[in-house]
């Protein structure tokens, strides 16, 4: 088998294994609850008979291993079970919120990735000048800010003082595309500010590392222009680290999205998760955590695969 293909297959297999282990951990964690799900639903005053009946109905009497595979099988078919608190099917709760969160994250990615990579390359080219120092201090400052500080700061400026955007982003099913963008832009800008700094610093670092390599020096000595050195010689080798950086920051975004959604009362998955944690709605927390964790693992997997494929050294056998 070709070396590259073999590495990709190995990496994908490892990713699938990680997903399975994580899903098992998420499932097992609930087993540590004081009492079990049936006691959670019925509360303190339940009689032993009703408890036994509910346990039977929920299938809690079957062994955990069997229940885990039932649960996993259900999820693969889009059935997450039902909420402990509201008794509604979780899939119904998740459906629209997942779309909202994805569109928010997508908008933030579309703004932040070109911005961060552009600024990172600029800072690397202007290394040790005032441009680089300004960008460096600016990004360190942005990294240090808690998400809600950025969010409330933007609300204060753009919705209270200037009145351009609403301070609360309640997106219902009936909004048009333009309205949706208008409502989502402020939360997306918050996310952008959070992740751009990280991505930019890492892009800068990886390009600087490359510019110090002998083959780049060689290209310079041949008389290639600065633009040619960066775009033709350095950039192809920088793709792998940059893609990794982007995937890592989509992970930062997952944490950020939870807080940003709470600040803007945005009806997404993050807000559902926080509400469910407060209510101790175990099954919903389980489902939401599994989705966030899977998204994280899949993004990392995709990044790794791209960096394997984009590594020119692997294409040539030794």
Helix axes 3-31, 282-309, angle to 10 degrees: 170
Contacts of 217 (CB under 8 A, 6+ apart): none
Residue 308 has which token pair? 């394997």
3-state secondary structure of 239: helix
Should residue 282 be labelled a site residue for another protein when binding is judged by CB under 8 A? yes
Choices 96-104, 118-126, 184-192, 247-255; region in contact with another protein by CB under 8 A: 247-255
By CB under 8 A, tell whether 160 contacts another protein. Answer: yes
Residue 251 near another protein by CB under 8 A? yes
Q: Is 115 among the residues that bind another protein (CB under 8 A)? A: no
Q: Are 142 and 200 contacting, i.e. CB atoms less than 8 angstroms apart?
A: no
* Residue placing its CB nearer to another protein in the complex, 4 or 145: 145
Instruction: Give the contacts of 90 (CB within 8 A, at least 6 positions apart).
Output: 80, 81, 82, 83, 283, 284, 287
Q: How far is the CB of 131 from another protein (least distance, A)?
A: 15
Residue with Cβ nearer another protein (171 or 259): 259
Residue 71 neighbours by CB under 8 Å, 6+ apart: 27, 81
Distance CA 80, CA 73 (A): 9
Which of 303, 307, 172 is closest to 239 using CA atoms? 307
Would you say 169 and 270 are in contact if contact means Cβ atoms under 8 Å apart? no
Q: Considering just the CA atoms, what is the radius of gyration of the chain in Å?
A: 24
* Shortest Å, Cβ 17 to another protein: 10
Does 155 sit near another protein (CB under 8 A)? Answer: yes
| Residue 199 touching another protein (CB under 8 A) | no
Residue 131 binds another protein, judged by CB under 8 A: no
The two tokens of residue 318 are 């030794």
Instruction: Dig out the tokens for 18 from the structure.
Output: 């990680």
* Residue 30 or 235 having the CB closest to another protein: 30
Cβ closest to another protein, residue 107 vs residue 263: 263
Q: Which of residues 27-46 bind another protein (CB under 8 A)?
A: 29-30, 32-33
> What is the contact surface with another protein in residues (CB under 8 A)?
18, 21-22, 25-26, 29-30, 32-33, 128, 137, 140-141, 143-149, 152-153, 155-156, 160-161, 167, 251, 254-255, 258-259, 262-263, 273-274, 276-278, 280, 282, 285-286, 289, 292-293, 296-297, 300
């Amino acid at each position: 088998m070709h070396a590259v293909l073999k590495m990709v297959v190995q990496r994908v297999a490892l990713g699938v294994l990680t997903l399975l282990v994580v899903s098992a951990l998420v499932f097992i964690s609930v087993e540590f609850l004081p009492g079990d799900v049936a006691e959670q639903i019925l509360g303190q005053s339940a009689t032993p008979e009703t408890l036994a009946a509910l346990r039977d109905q929920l299938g809690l009497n079957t062994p955990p291993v069997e229940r885990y595979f039932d649960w996993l099988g259900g999820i693969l078919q889009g059935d997450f079970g039902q909420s402990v608190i509201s008794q509604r099917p979780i899939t119904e709760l998740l459906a629209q919120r997942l779309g909202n969160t994805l569109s928010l994250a997508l908008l933030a990615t579309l703004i932040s990735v070109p911005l961060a990579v552009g600024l990172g390359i600029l800072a690397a080219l202007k290394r040790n000048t005032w441009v680089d120092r300004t960008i460096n201090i600016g990004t360190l400052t942005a990294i240090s800010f808690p998400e809600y500080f950025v969010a409330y700061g933007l609300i204060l400026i753009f919705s209270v003082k200037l009145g351009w955007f609403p301070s609360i982003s309640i997106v219902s099913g009936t909004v048009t595309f333009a309205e949706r963008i208008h409502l989502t832009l402020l939360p997306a800008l918050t996310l952008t500010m959070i992740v751009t700094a990280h991505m930019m610093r890492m892009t800068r670092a990886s390009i600087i590392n490359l510019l110090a390599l002998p083959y780049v020096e060689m290209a310079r000595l041949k008389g290639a222009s600065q633009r040619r050195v960066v775009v033709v010689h350095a950039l192809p080798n920088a793709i792998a680290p940059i893609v990794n950086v982007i995937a890592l920051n989509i992970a930062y975004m997952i944490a950020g999205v939870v807080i940003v959604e709470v600040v803007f009362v945005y009806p997404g998955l993050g807000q559902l998760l926080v509400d469910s944690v407060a209510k101790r709605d175990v099954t919903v927390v389980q489902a939401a955590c599994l989705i966030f964790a899977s998204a994280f693992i899949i993004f990392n997997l995709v990044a790794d695969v791209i960096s394997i494929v984009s590594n020119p050294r692997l294409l040539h056998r030794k």
